[in-house]
Chains A and B, each alone.
Chain A
């Protein structure tokens, strides 16, 4: 028997039972729900099956991993007294029905902790997908906490209130039901606490993984900006050993600066705070590195925002591109600060190209420039024709968009 990921609602147990017995999955589910309502044991059975039955495509079950998860086991053990307290509270409240399904549910809750901690990555994503809408989709961790607490307090108050209404004797001290309610609240918070903490911790790990992937993408962009461009240049000047050495050395310097000093190739240092400063720096660096003239014309000036730094990076990419490929000895760079936007034009009178016919693998313009800008809502327009030079028009809003 295997749990079925295709028909799953939670862990795919019903789907597995259906596949093993031939009974329609919907009937199995109805059976489970009826069992749950009537005795509560079904919840425990379900959790056990989840733990014991491997999912389709895997040979080991979650339990085999859970036995090595000492932290998880400790967490479950720590839950036991909480369960006992809760059970006592529930029975004290004389809410017979809750007491009836209580034990198996609490036990299943403990098992759920083990399941969550030891499920395969794929399954974790499913569980997460199931839980997120329940706990406030898209909201930040803090808001989720608030929601959880609210739900917990709400349920507790509901139980307390209900028991007070149904079983509250006028003669018996009113303190008892109130004390019970307070206990229920405390118990719920304690129950939700460790479980939720571990969930949040795992979510954070997931977020870190995503950040890592993003960093990798940025790294690829940087490598393209510098290393691949230099390699292409080296190939083109293979018959000029001195130039090749010069290029290689410059690239080595840049790469070292990036790898060991954390300075991205050509990145603006943070002490540049004004746009004109940044443009001037860009001009000096490109003139020094590529032996061309960069004619800069600035109209107005303003403080650099993250978006405008991206604009400058894109302008650098466009200018370096022109310096390397156009064959023109001079590149014009015109920047104008308007009330709401900054426009930047990079123009050369070199050989030009057909913007529609740039091959996919030469993605300098496509990826570096466009992606850099669109991340901040900026735009790029490229005008060129073979033999007519090229002009890259970049624009960026001065005030960062509220996200």
Chain B
């Protein structure tokens, strides 16, 4: 995959303040690998290998971005999100996983993570994702896009939420997600749909908002269904 594309935040733009990063990951080897890949482009303010310690340290150090493994001893990534966000809503989380379990991923996003990437991601892309989350944008890996499409595709049930807008994806959002799921970068998505990367980002952010705020019972039910598969 390509490295950071020009015009987007990345190592090429050192003018931006180095984001302060916190790593929550139970595999020491992988933690070291991530640290090495991020290199000097970020400031790693701490790391933890289980949920309770992570919550304590993050609340104390208040990093810009937490790179969070979905699967952790002591309650998983979910526990960390629930322990930090009520006190420090400004801390942004980027979920990272090798897991294929959609229900865990959706749960973490619903609990407040602003993005989800898989561990097979390249160093350049990881950095780009960290910057993007740090800037308040959403990061959708192809897999997350697929999960979301899947979850919202189960839309046969009449909408019961307070805000119907929240309960379904617009056709444009669907198109954007589909292209991301096919492995397109935001820039390529923009080119394919003849819209700007910024518009792509705003679509993705809006999908994230829907995902987090929707009261659809189906999102939960979908997750349960998937566990049975």
Residues of chain A having any CB pair with chain B under 8 Å: 276, 293, 295, 297-301, 330, 332, 334, 336, 345, 347, 349, 391
B153 to chain A: which residues have CB within 8 Å?
A: 299-300
- Return the contact of B120 from the options A295, A334, A347, A391 (Cβ within 8 A): A295
For residues 90 through 140 of chain B, which have their beta carbon under 8 Å from a beta carbon of chain A? 118, 120
12 contacts between A and B (CB under 8 A): A276-B229, A295-B183, A297-B145, A297-B146, A297-B182, A298-B150, A330-B1, A334-B142, A334-B178, A334-B181, A345-B183, A349-B1
How far apart are the CA atoms of A299 and B153 in the complex, in Å?
9
B142→A297 contact, CB < 8 A: yes
A295 to chain B: which residues have CB within 8 Å?
A: 118, 120, 142-143, 183
A298 to chain B: which residues have CB within 8 Å?
A: 146, 150
- Return the contact of A332 from the options B149, B150, B178, B182 (Cβ within 8 A): B182
B1 to chain A: which residues have CB within 8 Å?
A: 330, 349
B146 to chain A: which residues have CB within 8 Å?
A: 297-299, 334
For residues 175 through 213 of chain B, which have their beta carbon under 8 Å from a beta carbon of chain A? 178, 181-184
B142→A332 contact, CB < 8 A: yes
How far apart are the CA atoms of A349 and B182 in the complex, in Å?
12
B182 to chain A: which residues have CB within 8 Å?
A: 297, 332, 334, 345, 347, 391
B178 to chain A: which residues have CB within 8 Å?
A: 334, 336
The 5 closest A-B pairs by CB, nearest first: A332-B183, A297-B146, A334-B182, A299-B149, A297-B181
B63-95 contact mask (Cβ, 8 Å, vs A): 1 or 0: 000000000000000000000000000000000
CB closest residue in chain B, given A276: B229
B145-187 contact mask (Cβ, 8 Å, vs A): 1 or 0: 1100110010000000000000000000000001001111000
How far apart are the CA atoms of A347 and B145 in the complex, in Å?
16
Interface residue B6 (Cβ < 8 Å from any Cβ of A): no
How far apart are the CA atoms of A299 and B118 in the complex, in Å?
17
Interface contacts (Cβ under 8 Å), in number, total 46
A347 to chain B: which residues have CB within 8 Å?
A: 182-184
A336 to chain B: which residues have CB within 8 Å?
A: 149, 178, 181
CB distance from A349 to the nearest CB of B (A): 6
CB closest residue in chain A, given B145: A297
B229→A297 contact, CB < 8 A: no
B118 to chain A: which residues have CB within 8 Å?
A: 295
B229→A334 contact, CB < 8 A: no
CB distance from B46 to the nearest CB of A (A): 31
CB closest residue in chain B, given A388: B188
* Most interface-central of A297, A330, A336, A345 (chain B CB within 10 A): A297
Beyond the given pairs A295-B118, A336-B178, A345-B183, 9 more chain A to chain B contacts, judged by CB atoms under 8 angstroms and listed by A's residue number, are A295-B142, A297-B143, A297-B145, A297-B181, A300-B153, A334-B181, A336-B149, A349-B2, A391-B182
CB closest residue in chain A, given B102: A298
How far apart are the CA atoms of A345 and B145 in the complex, in Å?
14
CB distance from A261 to the nearest CB of B (A): 30
B2 to chain A: which residues have CB within 8 Å?
A: 349
How far apart are the CA atoms of A330 and B150 in the complex, in Å?
23
B149 to chain A: which residues have CB within 8 Å?
A: 299, 336
How far apart are the CA atoms of A332 and B149 in the complex, in Å?
17
- Return the contact of A299 from the options B150, B183, B184, B229 (Cβ within 8 A): B150
How far apart are the CA atoms of A298 and B142 in the complex, in Å?
10
Check A299/B120 contact, CB under 8 A, given A332-B142, A334-B142: no
CB distance from A107 to the nearest CB of B (A): 73
A391 to chain B: which residues have CB within 8 Å?
A: 182
CB closest residue in chain B, given A349: B1
How far apart are the CA atoms of A299 and B143 in the complex, in Å?
9
How far apart are the CA atoms of A220 and B25 in the complex, in Å?
51
How far apart are the CA atoms of A295 and B143 in the complex, in Å?
8
CB distance from B193 to the nearest CB of A (A): 15
CB distance from B188 to the nearest CB of A (A): 10
CB distance from B47 to the nearest CB of A (A): 26
B150 to chain A: which residues have CB within 8 Å?
A: 298-300
CB closest residue in chain B, given A328: B1
* Most interface-central of B118, B153, B181 (chain A CB within 10 A): B181
A345 to chain B: which residues have CB within 8 Å?
A: 182-183
B184 to chain A: which residues have CB within 8 Å?
A: 347
How far apart are the CA atoms of A391 and B192 in the complex, in Å?
13
CB distance from B143 to the nearest CB of A (A): 5
CB distance from A254 to the nearest CB of B (A): 27
* Most interface-central of A334, A336, A345, A349 (chain B CB within 10 A): A334
How far apart are the CA atoms of A298 and B150 in the complex, in Å?
8
How far apart are the CA atoms of A334 and B178 in the complex, in Å?
9
How far apart are the CA atoms of A300 and B183 in the complex, in Å?
17
How far apart are the CA atoms of A336 and B142 in the complex, in Å?
13
B181→A293 contact, CB < 8 A: no
